């Protein structure tokens, strides 16, 4: 019997590696961190696209992610490095440990988080858990897609191919998002994720998964950060350092732990 979940996870991890090759976000984060080595926790570190460059820059880094297929990409990238560790875990349900100088929530994880808590509550919990993980004066770094017009970004009738290709196991196919909708009253983005794959042995997999995400406004982020014991020190709308605006496309927020 086919292990469809593992085949899909392995194929998705390889497609992520092929598709996500940008470095602007990593370079910008490194510029905000400065040269002094720091103890950093990255939530949803995935395949180490951000985590490994942080370690190469001299920081001591820990990655947490629930996707074992993605984490399996890290060892080859981190070979010979002693200042990087990672583990499988649920960012909402599991302990983050303490004593970090910086907690990083980047790579759009704030938008893509999946949890039994529901997407909006999970976002709030994510920010609530950051302060206990940080040292006094520590920094929370958030980076996610931002627009003042989410209905223009997220309403897409019909099908869109997101990934297409062949993985290292010979599984080929594509992943589509179908009939994406946005509800302005709730901030919920709903779509169906469909996988159409064929293994090297010719076995076909077609699987549909409902997707529910929550588009969080800046105003809500500000409230959660304030309630969570943070003050915003810097915010940017893109990797050129411009202010958040109508055309910038990102919300990059550096928030410091407030004094008790």
Superfamily name with CATH number, domain 4-147+216-257: Vaccinia Virus protein VP39 (3.40.50.150)
User: According to the model, what pLDDT value does residue 260 have?
Assistant: 61
- In our burial notation (b when 16+ CB lie closer than 10 A, e otherwise), range 213-249 reads bbbbeeeebeebbeebbbeeeebbbbbeeeebeeebe
User: According to the model, what pLDDT value does residue 117 have?
Assistant: 84
Cα–Cα distance measured from residue 194 to residue 61, given in angstroms and rounded to the nearest whole number: 34
Cα–Cα distance measured from residue 26 to residue 23, given in angstroms and rounded to the nearest whole number: 5
What's the token pair of residue 220? 């809500």
What's the token pair of residue 49? 């696209």
User: According to the model, what pLDDT value does residue 1 have?
Assistant: 60
In order along its 260 residues, the chain shows pLDDT tens digits of 679 999 999 999 999 999 999 999 999 999 999 989 999 999 999 999 999 999 999 999 999 999 999 999 999 999 999 999 999 999 999 999 999 999 999 999 999 998 888 999 999 999 999 999 999 999 999 999 999 999 999 999 999 999 999 999 999 999 999 999 999 999 999 999 999 999 999 999 999 999 999 999 999 999 999 999 999 999 999 999 999 999 999 999 999 999 76
Minimal CA–CA distance to 173: which of 163, 188, 184, 183? 163
Provide the angle, in degrees to the nearest 10, between the axes of the packed helices 119-128 and 218-227. 40
Minimal CA–CA distance to 109: which of 141, 77, 84, 131? 141
User: According to the model, what pLDDT value does residue 115 have?
Assistant: 84
Query: What is residue 32's three-state secondary structure?
Result: helix
User: According to the model, what pLDDT value does residue 24 have?
Assistant: 97
> From 3.30.1560, 2.50.20, 2.20.25, 2.30.280, which CATH number describes the 150-213 domain?
2.20.25
What's the token pair of residue 97? 């440990």
- Compute and round to an integer the Cα radius of gyration of the chain: 19
What residues does each domain of the chain span? 4-147+216-257, 150-213
User: For 214-228, what is each residue's pLDDT tens digit?
Assistant: 999 999 999 999 999
């Amino acid at each position: 019997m086919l292990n469809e979940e593992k085949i899909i996870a392995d194929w998705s991890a390889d497609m992520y590696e092929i598709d996500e090759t940008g470095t602007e976000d990593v370079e910008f984060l490194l510029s905000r961190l400065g040269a002094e080595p720091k103890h950093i926790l990255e939530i949803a570190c995935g395949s180490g696209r951000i985590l490994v460059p942080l370690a190469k820059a001299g920081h001591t880094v820990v990655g947490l992610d629930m996707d074992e297929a993605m984490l399996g990409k890290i060892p080859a990238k981190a070979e010979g490095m002693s200042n990087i560790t990672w583990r499988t875990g649920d960012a909402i349900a599991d302990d983050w440990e303490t004593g970090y100088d910086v907690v990083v929530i980047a790579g759009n994880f704030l938008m893509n988080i999946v949890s039994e808590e529901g997407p909006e509550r999970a976002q709030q919990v994510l920010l609530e858990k950051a302060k206990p993980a940080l040292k006094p004066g520590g920094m929370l770094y958030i980076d996610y897609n931002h627009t003042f017009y989410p209905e223009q970004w997220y309403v897409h009738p019909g099908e869109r191919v997101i990934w297409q290709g062949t993985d290292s196991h010979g599984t080929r196919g594509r992943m589509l998002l179908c009939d994406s909708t946005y509800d302005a009253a709730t901030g919920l983005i709903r779509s169906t994720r469909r996988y159409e794959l064929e293994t090297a042995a010719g076995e076909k997999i077609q699987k549909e998964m409902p997707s529910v995400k929550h588009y969080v406004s800046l105003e809500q982020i500000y409230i959660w950060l304030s309630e969570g014991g943070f003050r915003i020190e810097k915010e940017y709308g893109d990797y050129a350092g411009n202010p958040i605006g109508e055309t910038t496309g990102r919300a990059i927020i550096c928030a410091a732990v407030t004094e008790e």
